[in-house]
Structure 1
Amino acid sequence: MRSIDAVSMVQAGLRRFGPGLARAAAFGRIIGARLAAIDLVPFLITSADRIETGARWCMRTGRHLPARLGITGAFAWRCAAALAGIGLTAALVTGLAAKDEDQLQLASLTLPATNVTEQPGTSPRRVRTAAMAEDWVAIPRPTAVFNLEAPELGREAPLLEARRSQDGDRREDLLSFGSFAEPKPHLALRLATGEGAAAGARSFMVALATEAALRGLAVERSSAPAPIETRFGPLETADIVLAAGAESRACVAFRTPPGEARFAMSGWWCAAPRPGDRRQLSCLIDRLDLAGGADQELRGLFARSELKRQAGCAPSRPSRTSSLDMDASAPALRMKTAGTEPARIAAELPKPRPRPARRQP
């Protein structure tokens, strides 16, 4: 009964809408016939002629407009090229920034899923990302943890700034040797220690531009990153041109690749009077040493890296981590007592010779 009712309903609908569908089909056939009768070739030719005429008018106007404004043709082309370069640079920076933001958003979206898949009975592991400014606390009077002595840096003490995270798990020391504005060697070195020291989803160029902006500098040009080897592992490096107002210098930027290392570094090296090279930078990094106040894990890392130090890149003074193994105990001292010392001295004194007997007259 239901199938018969459905068939009857369909037939009733066809009888009701049949005349309208027939008129729509007839109207479609009329429109198709009219479109088929139109010759598109003359229309296309006319459109091409109009486009060519408009292009010629633009070329004549663009050719005579700089002369009327008192601008030479070469200067106008340079201005156009500069505007095109600025536009492409802005598009590139925007794309890189959007890529970093997408990676951070994806990381935040996948964080709950990572916590769900953890094994029962294990402590949850915190995911470290690039720390914001509000996550750090400045250390008013920091104690130097690292020391770097090299002939290229002179004898002046570096400027030291330090900060720590709110939870106390991380610390960053910023060492600045020399001045960027003065024509002498300049080294900006940021040393991060603790959990997630090498974490970060930013690309090399975006991280470099951000760190340079925090120090009042701008990155004018840069090359593609290339790795170099140091005693602390590989570093990403790139030839860059830094500018501070009208002053610009050729430097070499570097950073530790993102990973799970508890010790990382970044910054740039600007030599003088000649541009610095990667071999010189690698030797500077190999001269890095501990000054004091480091924990057991950091001292062990520096002690193990002594075997990877390049020949000729040792510091002027012996390293505090090169002579002793940090995991071994110091040898016991030999103590002297006051009771045994006089006996030993008396035993070592020469015995007096016997005098010969004198003859009686």
Structure 2
Amino acid sequence: MSRLQAGLDRLRPWLARALAIGRNITARIAGIDAVPLLISCADRIEASFRWTLRLGRHLLPRRGLGLTGALAWRCAAALGGIGMTAILVTGLSAKDEDQPRLASLALPSANPMAQGAATPRRPRQSATAEDWVAIPRPMAMFSLEASELGREAPSLETRRSQDGSRREDLLSFGSFAEPKAHLVLRLATGEGAAAGSRSFMVALVHDTAQRGHAIERSSAPIPTETRFGPLETADVVLGEGAESRSCVAFRTPPGEATFAMSGWWCAASKPSDRRQLTCLIDRLDLANAGADQELRAVFASSELKRQPGCAPPRLSASGRKTSWLDVDGNLPALRMKTASADPARPASEIRRNRDKPARRQP
């Protein structure tokens, strides 16, 4: 096997040289102007055929071969033209094709461990539609409460991967056709949640097409900082039939993160801006993580990154609205009922109530 390998290594330069010569010949053929060549060849064929006819008249007992000179010359010219056209087409086709590559003649390694160590690890790509299984009765893992979204419960669509290592939750608030706030939030968890090689616009076109929308206009994506890290955001105009709305599209940049999000936000009356989107994302809470400790750690580490003005208001013990988990806020004073606060009634009033007979019921 080593001798065979050595022989193949010796032949490889010769094969490469032969391919280079073939490419040069093809390039030269393709660079030749075939029109003057066809004309000169046709003239030479005509002259040679006339000379042949003259010679045949002297040698053959009958006059020629039963063909006139003009007909014979036309047949010869047609045959020559067809041949040169075929050569020209072949040369041009070889020129347009990619350069041929020399296949590796090296034999595979006999040691599978060494071959596996030499092969680099491929990055995990985004899953296709066939890799997912829909969950019929999902349990909500995330919750989002905001006055902009109203009190209606969002629609929830959940699916998981075939091996159970990934999950996607699609939360949809409001309707695109109604003049209300509309939010589509796709949350991905698990290994390779942020994996993908598609650009921002290609991924957005794919996601909006699945919801029946079309992108009419779009700006270049810019980074926007949130409690879960930077997001790619862009101002877009989405259309659905005759209806169109100005929205802000967003997604987590591709990487190795185990928690990613994407979607678009369309405000109700005023134009959508990134400040509203940042506040909505800051109000996202984890309702049920199950045994996913990594997801718990992601939300726990992001608690300190909440924007002060974006936390949802909560009622305190004193009845005031305070921020959720407001560490710097003052605790309300406890109200205790003391004996001095309730004035004692006089003894004569108590004795009068005791001596008063009970009223009979009819």
- TM bucket by the smaller chain? 0.5 to 0.7
Partner of 1:129: 125
* Superimposed CA distance per residue, residues 94-127 of structure 1 (whole angstroms, 9 cap, x where no aligned partner): xxxxxxxxxxxxxxxxxxx995347xxxxx9673
Higher helix share: 1
Identity level (%) = 76
Tell me the distance in 2 between the aligned counterparts of 1:114 and 1:194.
Answer: 30
* Superimposed CA distance per residue, residues 158-197 of structure 1 (whole angstroms, 9 cap, x where no aligned partner): 0000000001110000000000010000000000000000
Stretches (4+) displaced over 3 A: 113-118, 124-127
Give the TM-score, by structure 2 length: 0.54
Partner of 1:313: 310
Is contact 2:289–2:295 with CA below 8 Å preserved after alignment?
no
Whether 2:125 is the aligned partner of 1:116: answer no
Equivalenced residue count is: 206
Query: C-alpha displacement at 1:293, in angstroms?
Result: 3.5
Is contact 1:238–1:253 with CA below 8 Å preserved after alignment?
yes
Partner of 1:189: 185
Summarize the Cα distance change of 1:281–1:125 in structure 2 as closer, same or farther, 3 Å threshold: same
Summarize the Cα distance change of 1:278–1:115 in structure 2 as closer, same or farther, 3 Å threshold: farther
Which residue, 242, 245, 257 being the options, matches 1:246? 242
Tell me the distance in 2 between the aligned counterparts of 1:226 and 1:257.
Answer: 11
Give the TM-score, by structure 1 length: 0.54
Tell me the distance in 2 between the aligned counterparts of 1:126 and 1:267.
Answer: 27
Tell me the distance in 2 between the aligned counterparts of 1:281 and 1:270.
Answer: 9
The within-5 A match list for 1:1-361 is: 116-117=117-118, 127-294=123-290, 295-316=292-313
Query: C-alpha displacement at 1:292, in angstroms?
Result: 1.2
Summarize the Cα distance change of 1:302–1:115 in structure 2 as closer, same or farther, 3 Å threshold: farther
Structure 1 or 2, whichever has the larger Rg, is 2
Is contact 1:149–1:316 with CA below 8 Å preserved after alignment?
no
* Superimposed CA distance per residue, residues 197-256 of structure 1 (whole angstroms, 9 cap, x where no aligned partner): 000000000000000001111111100001110000000000000011111000000000
Other structure's SS at 1:179 match: coil
Is contact 2:142–2:288 with CA below 8 Å preserved after alignment?
yes
Tell me the distance in 1 between the aligned counterparts of 2:241 and 2:142.
Answer: 31
RMSD: 2.5
Note the residue ranges of structure 2 that are not aligned, 5 or more in a row.
1-35, 37-113, 316-323, 327-362
Tell me the distance in 1 between the aligned counterparts of 2:286 and 2:228.
Answer: 13
Other structure's SS at 1:163 match: strand
